[in-house]
């Protein structure tokens, strides 16, 4: 069974009741699974590169389907990303129609934590293999933009075994592939470029006709990350306004910067800077910056804060600045509308 898709409506972003999945599991108990619940959000991972995880049972039908022969179930042990404990789970799926039909079904449950999510797919597809020996082709294309473009092109590899050179704006075709899922990897990418969507992508198989691998667009930095700049609150960013601005650029390798300004806070508390945290973000309790009245304030997991030009810890910062090397492990909670603060000594 293979599947790649989503249950729940809306975008897969933190706080939304949306779950995404990507799995490729076989009856011989080999396979991978990535399952993310954006309500929290948390991601469970299963695969040969993650010690202690794996598929423990596989059933070729499922009572969750109106026609059990169109479904399958598998049990396994996975690891929640960023955690050390393992979690046992069961997945039930139904291949009730072609991609985009809205008929396929996905269910994930973890009885030990009383957790269960199930629904018909809102996007994506689930495919049950019938053991057919039919073959097909796969087209990989590239689209490269920006400056200092690579002159030698890249290398496209399918399933880690078959490779072909490919130009920076070109396409190649891989033939004789079985009608199952396949992994495509793009290598030879210069360090000044990034592959949008990652250098490796798994493509669910389809029995009939070629399936085109989406183009790989290259620009920027190879590390994955998120960046943004903007404002919340109406009006102009002036002292005393109930308005907040932010600028951040954070990468998955835990490097990045953040500047967050709340203009409703008195100027004497306006600037707080954070020095890089030492060691792992999980190696010590996270400091908590609070208002003087001990109300709910900004909880910053990682660097400690101080007012610019002093050695004092700021009781209530209105500008938070993170520098490269800081331990980025959590977002700040929402700031109160009208915080109170005692004058600085």
pLDDT tens sequence across 143-162:
888 777 888 889 999 988 88
What is the C-alpha separation between 332 and 324, in angstroms, rounded?
18
User: Which stretches of the chain drop beneath a pLDDT of 70?
Assistant: 130-135, 179, 204-225, 251-253, 266-345
What is the C-alpha separation between 87 and 67, in angstroms, rounded?
29
Tokens matching residue 167: 């130009």
- CATH class label, 135-218: mainly beta
Residue 36 is predicted with a pLDDT of 96
Residue 107 is predicted with a pLDDT of 98
> 178-208: buried (b, 16+ CB within 10 Å) or exposed (e) per residue?
ebbbbebbbeebeeebbbeeebebbbbbbee
Query: Could you identify the residue written with the tokens 């208002």?
Result: 291
């Amino acid at each position: 069974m293979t599947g790649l898709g989503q249950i729940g409506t809306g975008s897969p972003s933190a706080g939304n009741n949306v779950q995404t999945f990507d799995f490729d599991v076989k009856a011989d108990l080999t396979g991978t699974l990535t399952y993310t619940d954006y309500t929290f959000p948390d991601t469970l991972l299963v695969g040969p590169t993650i010690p202690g995880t794996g598929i423990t049972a596989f059933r070729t039908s499922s009572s969750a389907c109106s026609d059990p022969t169109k479904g399958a179930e598998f049990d396994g042990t996975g690891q929640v990303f960023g955690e050390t404990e393992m979690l046992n789970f069961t997945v039930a799926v139904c291949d009730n129609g072609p991609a985009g039909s809205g008929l396929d079904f996905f269910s994930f449950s973890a009885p030990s934590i009383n957790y269960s999510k199930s629904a018909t797919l809102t996007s994506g597809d689930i495919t049950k293999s019938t053991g057919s020996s039919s073959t097909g082709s796969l087209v990989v294309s590239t689209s490269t933009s920006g400056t200092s473009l690579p002159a030698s092109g890249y290398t496209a590899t399918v399933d880690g075994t078959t490779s072909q050179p490919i130009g920076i704006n070109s396409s190649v075709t891989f033939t004789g592939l079985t009608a199952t899922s396949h992994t495509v990897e793009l290598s030879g990418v210069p360090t000044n470029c990034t592959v949008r969507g990652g250098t490796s992508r798994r493509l669910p198989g389809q029995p009939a006709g070629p399936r085109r691998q989406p183009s790989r667009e290259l620009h920027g930095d190879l590390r994955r990350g998120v960046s943004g700049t903007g404002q919340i609150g109406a009006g102009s960013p002036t002292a005393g306004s109930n308005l907040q601005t932010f600028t951040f650029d954070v990468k998955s390798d835990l490097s990045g910067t953040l500047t967050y300004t709340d203009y409703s806070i008195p100027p004497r508390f306006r600037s707080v800077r954070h020095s890089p945290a030492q060691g792992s973000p999980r190696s010590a309790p996270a400091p908590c910056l609070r208002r003087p009245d001990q109300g709910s304030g900004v909880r910053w997991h990682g660097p400690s804060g101080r007012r610019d030009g002093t050695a004092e810890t700021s009781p209530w910062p209105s500008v938070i600045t993170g520098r490269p090397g800081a331990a980025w492990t959590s977002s700040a909670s929402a700031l109160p509308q009208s915080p109170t603060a005692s004058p600085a000594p």
